[in-house]
Amino acid sequence: MNGKGKGLALDERVVGCRLAQDVRDAAGRVLLAAGTELTAAVVASLRQRGVTGVHVEQALDAAAAAAQRQATTRRLAHLFRAAGGDELLNRLHQEVLAYRLEKLP
Amino acid sequence: MTPTQEQVLARIGQIPSLSVVVQEVLASFDNEKLETAYLVSKLNQDQALAARVLRVANSPFYGLNSSVATVSEAVVVLGFHAVRSLALAASIVKLLPDSGTQRFDQLAFWRHAVGTGVCARVLAGRIGLDQEAAFTAGLLHDIGKLALSAYFPDVVDAILARRDGSGSLMVEAERSCLGFDHAAVGHDLAQLWHFPEAIRLAIRDHHAPERAPAPLTDIVHVANTLCYALDIGSGGNDRVPPLAAPAWARLGIAWEELGGCLRDIENLDAGMNLLITD
């Protein structure tokens, strides 16, 4: 992942992208945190607030994408490491993992 | 020396009272007939509070087409209940002093608190319960941890060492070190501040939802676990706490619905975090 991301004008092309940097207002206050997914409603709202461009995460190459999926899987395995035979926690683990992986490239 | 629960209560009794404005806003959770004009007039008496509410109201997550400049406008566009819970959250976030121990990560704590509030709000929305009471209860469920870290930093250091040594959850390490836990301390604080009963009980029983089953308690219990599963902040644990099967079953949320809940939670959480960032 590129730390700073790619600068793009705030138009329909950024819908579905993830912010690589915080979006701030003129006073420097954070309007939207890095990592947030840009939906159509959020883009429209940012435009209303005078934001003209954003930095979004760039598409990953296949190796980087695979590494990110592995890291996500490992982190969740760590968080759920005490689940043992707890069926409910194991089901939650699977559901959250599926949700996380679906969001990744 | 390890304090007794009575000694902890005596110490937190010295925490500054909630302002009159906040107390009245809080009491209004039990008053469905409260008028909008009353809430607006109360919030306008505390400009710092009003400013923080407006900041969140203007976050892009509310998707408003124009900016919100006054508390009255915020009530019109966001709704009375949403403004009330935002006001309450914004005031309590600023009330307790900073932690006295370096080992307690206060920012991670508040991220977990807001995240749990957001999880609770989304769950409540799915099952048709009061979303704003759920947000408030979720936000404040671990307030006892913050009180302990602010006023008994040495004790919290010992609890953290016990947690690390045994691989246990914070709540287990607290019971082992103190004989009681942060949920009990939070309940004492909630009584001191005259929180509505449902919120008090949700704070007390969020690790033991079978003690006195209630919808808000079930929501906060599940929300706490979801927040850890989503890795949003940390209330002092590096692992997902257990999910009580009866509490999960009582909520009646299908696994197929969970993905939609998680998406809503992460979107709303980014906006609500403006309550705790400067």
For the domain that residue A47 is a member of, what is the CATH number? 3.90.105.10
For B268, nearest residue in chain A (alpha carbons):
A36
Range from A17-21, A55-59, B52-56, B172-176 that averages highest in pLDDT: B172-176
Q: Residues A17, A46: one domain?
A: yes
Query: DSSP letter at B194?
Result: T
Number of domains in chain A: 2
Q: Residues A12, A47: one domain?
A: yes
Following CA atoms B30, B34, B36, B39 in sequence, which dihedral angle do they give, to the nearest 10 degrees?
-60
Residue A3, pLDDT above cutoff 60: no
**Residue A65's pLDDT is what?**
82
Q: Residues A69, A50: one domain?
A: no
Phi-psi label, residue A84: left if phi above 0, alpha if psi -120 to 50, beta otherwise: left
Among chain B, residues having any CB pair with chain A shorter than 8 Å are: 55, 58-67, 167, 225-226, 228-231, 238-240, 242-243, 245, 248, 255, 258-259, 262-263, 266-267, 270, 273-274, 277
Q: Residues A70, A48: one domain?
A: no
Neighbours of B12 (CB within 10 A): 22
Q: Residues A12, A52: one domain?
A: yes
Contact B238 A80 (CB under 8 A): no
Q: CB-CB: which of A42, A75, A78 is closest to B61?
A: A42
Residue A71 structural domain: 62-103
The pTM assigned to this predicted structure is 0.81
Q: Residues A34, A69: one domain?
A: no
Residues 6+ apart with CB under 8 A from B233: B107, B108, B109, B110, B111, B112, B113, B114, B115, B227
Let me know if residue A1 belongs to a domain.
no
Q: Residues A17, A51: one domain?
A: yes
Q: Residues A23, A37: one domain?
A: yes
Q: Measured between alpha carbons, how far is residue A88 from residues A21, B84, B233 in Å? A: 36, 35, 22
**Residue B30's pLDDT is what?**
67
Q: Residues A68, A27: one domain?
A: no
What gap in Å lies between CA B185 and CA B141, rounded to an integer? 11
Q: Residues A72, A51: one domain?
A: no
Greater confidence (A32 vs A93) lies with: A93
**Residue A59's pLDDT is what?**
72
Q: Measured between alpha carbons, how far is residue B242 from residues A68, A89, B239, B260 in Å? A: 27, 7, 10, 22
Residue A2 confidence class, pLDDT cut points 50, 70, 90: very low
